[in-house]
Structure 1
Amino acid sequence: MEGIREDVETAGKPHADRGAYACILTAAALWGMMGLWNRGLFAGGFSPWSIVLVRNTGGLALLAAIFGIRDRSVFRIKREHLKYFFGTGVGSVLLFTVCYFSCQKICSLAVASVLLYTAPSIVVILSAVLWREPITKKKLLALGLTLVGCACVCGVFAGNLSVTPAGILLGLGAGFFYALYSIIGRYALRAGYSAQTMTMWTYVFAGTGGLFFIRPAELAAAAGSPSMWLLGAGLVAVSTVAPYLLYTTGLSRVESGKASIMASLEPVVASVIGVLVFQEPMSGLTAVGIVCVLTGVVILR
């Protein structure tokens, strides 16, 4: 079939190396740790909207502080390229989070998670159309394995799922907006911007947009609790700023489709943390799903 062929080196394609793969997999692992912080914040009275605010606006504040001290060159961009960072910040990070949390409110967590991980499929298709990234047999096999693996890990095949038409649309929207980071981000990287500059300006827009979800009463109630500050700091530093810097660095040297598929490691890490930290049961299907995702990642390497 035309367009489906074995992997080959092609001039102009991002060159993958072990360091790039390590960055992407580490980013996925750090995103998978998000439940460590979110569960505590939910228990402390935070709504999903307040977590959107903390994650995005906190990410902006931390990145601005880091680069304001270490490398102010990241603040210099061309005006005509603002559209790229509006796309990654509002069009991807902010809208995907809003859709994802909204889907979780009206559907089961399993449905929301699996619909979110339609993102690699979207990235593979759009990358093939926009940049003629090859849709190889290995890539299709890895894509299939990771999608099935995510479904197993999230408990889709165990039944008892709560699904509504609005929830499906929101979940697919979350997957689409999540995918846009790998797509629009490629344009910014091709324009010559570093991973650090791209992440900084992504959060200029995502953090500013997060202010629309401010809930003063919730924030005031949590302000006096040191544990809430620590959980918020963990969410921002460990599961927001660090993984986006790492993923963007990897994205600059790996095809968008491959990067997105490899990021499917995230729900596997989340599942393992659930078992080790929150004593959640590990079912046979979950174990099969973990093996499927890991196999898909190995195939791509």
Structure 2
Amino acid sequence: MKKILPYIMIASGASLWGIIAFFVKGLGAYDFTAMEIVAIRVIFAAVFLLIIGIVRYPKEMKLKEVKDVRLFVGTGILSIVFFNFCYFTTISQMNISVAVILLYTSPAFVTILSFIFLKESLTITKIAAVAGTILGCVLIAGISMEDSNITFLGIITGLGSGLGYALYTIFGKFALKKYQPFTITLYTFLIAAIALIPVTRLWTRLEILMDMKVLLYGIGLGLIPTVLAYFLYTWGLEKTEGSKAAIIATVEPVVATMLGVFLYGERLGVFQVIGALLILGSVLIVNLSFRKRRLNESGNTDIAQ
């Protein structure tokens, strides 16, 4: 159980990310822009994390060195803020289905960046799993290239969203060498909030933000698919290779698709079902190959992945 618990944590965190559309749609009904919703998300998350830190984790709130702020600039601004900026720009440029596909190039970025910076192995299994997750996302999005309005800027920002999404795993791995998951999650969202407040000027919409329904959507967005989701993912990441964590986290689009089907009445076609199965299959391949390698290592026999 201890061996698979990190995978369960990663999958749980990713599943919570998958329900984010519920809160985003709720806030969107009040005419908040995409970046304003992102700002609401990180601000509420930062407030929750500060309260939790003061009450439960006061020691984890301290930085060992001031220069370590750069790690959280990485997870907070280069990942959270950059990813959202690119993602929403892509949505404005092209079909949402294409934007989602480009976003989920992130496992490929993580695998390559982990190989370069974290010295993780690049195996055939990982490459096959990445290919499976990307193909699965293509099928889930139900893309039809004939109907897609593809632009050069959209492609660039779409790939940027995949890169930004991947950077949390990379910077998170470096930060975990010195800090606990709570510390990383706290400073990630604190720095992201500090960066977004002056950009979005949310104080000009304070009256709407105080509406009870808006407040509940904001609290839910900041707590469930944000604080809890990132904490679970970061905890699992601490005990898992970055590339494997990124592949496991692609259960998110499966959960998002289920949410659309059961909550908003969206149709799920044959290709979407196949895509979901491909993603889950890729996750299983990663887990099974890891268990096989561990059994092999205990028997002192080499098995090529």
Question: Taking structure 1 as the reference length, what is the TM-score of the superposition?
Answer: 0.91
Equivalence for 2:223: 237
In structure 2, relative to structure 1, the CA distance for the partners of 1:207 and 1:138 (3 Å cut) is: same
- 1:67 and 2:53 aligned: yes
Contact 1:25–1:263 under 8 Å retained in 2: yes
- Counterpart residue number, 2:81: 94
Counterpart of 1:130 in structure 2 is 117
Matches within 5 A, 1:1-301: 17-77=3-63, 78-157=65-144, 159-190=146-177, 192-211=178-197, 212-224=199-211, 226-301=212-287
> Residue by residue, what CA displacement relative to the aligned partner does 1:113-134 show, whole Å, maximum 9, x if unpaired?
1111111101101111122211
Q: Report how many residues are paired.
A: 284
For 1:264, what is the secondary structure of its paired residue?
helix
The CA RMSD over aligned residues, in Å, is 1.4
Deviation at 1:159, TM superposition (A): 4.5
SS of corresponding position for 1:67? helix
| Deviations 1:129-175 (CA, angstroms, capped at 9, x unpaired) | 12221112221121111110011111224742222111111111111
Could you say if the C-alpha distance between residues 105 and 81 of structure 1 is closer, same or farther in structure 2, counting changes exceeding 3 Å? same
Q: Distance in 2 between matches of 1:256 and 1:186?
A: 7
* Match of residue 9 from structure 1: none
CA contact (8 A) 2:103 2:159 kept: yes
What CA distance in whole angstroms lies between the structure 1 residues aligned with 2:271 and 2:204? 42
Larger displacement relative to structure 2 (215-224 or 123-132): 215-224
Contact 2:35-2:84 within 8 A present in 1 as well: no
Given that residues 151 and 157 in structure 1 are in contact (C-alpha distance below 8 angstroms), is that contact kept between their aligned partners in structure 2? Answer: no
- Whether the aligned pair in 1 keeps the contact of 2:208 and 2:214 (CA below 8 Å) is no
CA distance in 1, matches of 2:263, 2:145: 22
Residues 273 and 280 (structure 1 numbering): CA distance in 2 closer, same or farther, change over 3 Å? same
Unpaired segments ≥5 residues, structure 2: 288-305
Match of 1:6 in 2: none
Deviations, residues 33-71 of structure 1 (Å, cap 9, x unaligned): 001111111112211121011011111111001111111
Is the Cα–Cα contact under 8 Å of residues 45 and 218 in structure 1 kept in the other structure? no
> How many angstroms apart in 1 are the aligned matches of 2:204 and 2:192?
22
Q: Could you report, residue by residue, the CA deviation over 1:224-276 in whole angstroms, capped at 9, with x for unpaired residues?
A: 2x221111111111111111111111111100000011111111100000000
TM-score w.r.t. length of structure 2: 0.90
Unaligned 5+ segments in structure 1 are 1-15
Which SS does the other structure have where 1:263 is aligned? helix
Q: Is the 8 A contact 1:52 1:98 kept in 2?
A: no
Distance in structure 2 (CA, Å) of the matches to 1:218 and 1:103: 26
Identity %: 33
Question: 2:251 is matched by which residue type in structure 1?
Answer: L
8 Å contact kept, 1:49–1:214: no
Q: CA deviation at 1:286?
A: 0.6
